[in-house]
Structure 1
Amino acid sequence: MKTKLTILLLFIFSITFSQGFREKKEKIKAIKIAYITEQLNLTTDEAQKFWPVYNTFDDKQFEIRHNKMKKIINKFENDGIDSVSEKEAKELINQMEDYEDEMHNLKKKYIKDLLKVLPAKKVIKLKKVEDEFNRKLLKQFRGKRE
């Protein structure tokens, strides 16, 4: 009985935590959209064309970083670097290089796609605006933890 109760509580906690995380992630995403739109001074037409390009890039970037690269990182964390053979290490390095190449090609395509919907000045400013947003978000996060 006690085990079932413990499992039930862990299940409820994990659902609550993941829902809270998803809600916070969606809230941050909404704030980021508003921030970028305002800082870039996007027109309605620009915003309609920009956000699908941005979101597609963001999704693909997430896939590479969190799904592909994470597998490599988990291999080191789970098995330990010492348990990996030299051959396996070389294979992992090749995979990492492939993912880095994939990310680089994705970024190049993203820039080309952005230039089709935004003036070059706004494309350059986007990087600055994203960096500012991330710094502010990190600063706020650190402030809450202290």
Structure 2
Amino acid sequence: MKKIIYIAFIFLFSSQLISAQTDDDKIKSLKIAHITKALDLSKKEAEDFWPIYNKYDEKTDHLYEVKWCDVKNGIDLIDTIDEETAQNLVKQYVSLKKESAALKGEFVEELHQVISYKKILMLKKAERDFHKILLKQYKRD
């Protein structure tokens, strides 16, 4: 019964937020609700978890904004670039993946100070499930 009330509250709260927010803000709010529910975070865990998660999310966004743009543009222009440019783009891509992996490692180490490894795996599943929900919704629209 408690879960039903919690879910109803999330949907009610989310629907009110949806009308007042941009699409990105809506998605972020829904993602927060989804992850919080999936991980069943205690109040203390949530207080410690979200600053770490948000910091990691910002760093990841920044990394991809800075490094992925050139690679993506190169892929989009693949028919017109020369071999040297392609080599440089592949090197940038590999560098991006290495930095991303290092960032994930730091994230897991920080998170483990707050939540268990099982909850870290539950987080990965919750993020994957949320992306599936978004894709399904996108296909419907």
- TM-score normalised by L of structure 1: 0.77
Partner residue, 1:28 = 27
Does residue 103 (structure 1) correspond to residue 92 (structure 2)? The answer is no
Secondary structure of the equivalent of 2:113?
helix
Secondary structure of the equivalent of 2:41?
coil
Q: What stretches of structure 1 of length at least 5 have no aligned partner? A: 1-21
Partner residue, 1:10 = none
Partner residue, 1:92 = 89
Structure 1 position 84, deviation (Å)? 2.1
Q: What stretches of structure 2 of length at least 5 have no aligned partner? A: 1-20
Stretches (4+) displaced over 3 A: none
Larger radius of gyration, structure 1 or 2? Answer: 1
In the aligned structure 1, how far is the partner of 2:62 from the partner of 2:87? 23
Secondary structure of the equivalent of 1:62?
helix
What are the Cα deviations for residues 29-53 of structure 1, in whole angstroms up to 9, with x where unaligned?
0111111111111011101110111
In the aligned structure 2, how far is the partner of 1:129 from the partner of 1:92? 32
Partner residue, 2:54 = 55
Partner residue, 1:17 = none
Structure 1 position 76, deviation (Å)? 3.8
In the aligned structure 1, how far is the partner of 2:124 from the partner of 2:23? 23
1:130 aligned residue (121, 127, 131): 127
What are the Cα deviations for residues 47-87 of structure 1, in whole angstroms up to 9, with x where unaligned?
1110111111111111222331122211343xx32432222
Partner residue, 1:72 = 71
In the aligned structure 2, how far is the partner of 1:88 from the partner of 1:40? 44
- TM-score normalised by L of structure 2: 0.79
Q: Give the RMSD, CA atoms, in angstroms.
A: 1.7
Task: State the percentage of identical aligned residues.
Answer: 36
Does residue 37 (structure 1) correspond to residue 46 (structure 2)? The answer is no
In the aligned structure 1, how far is the partner of 2:135 from the partner of 2:81? 35
In the aligned structure 1, how far is the partner of 2:93 from the partner of 2:134? 28
Q: How many correspondences in the alignment?
A: 122
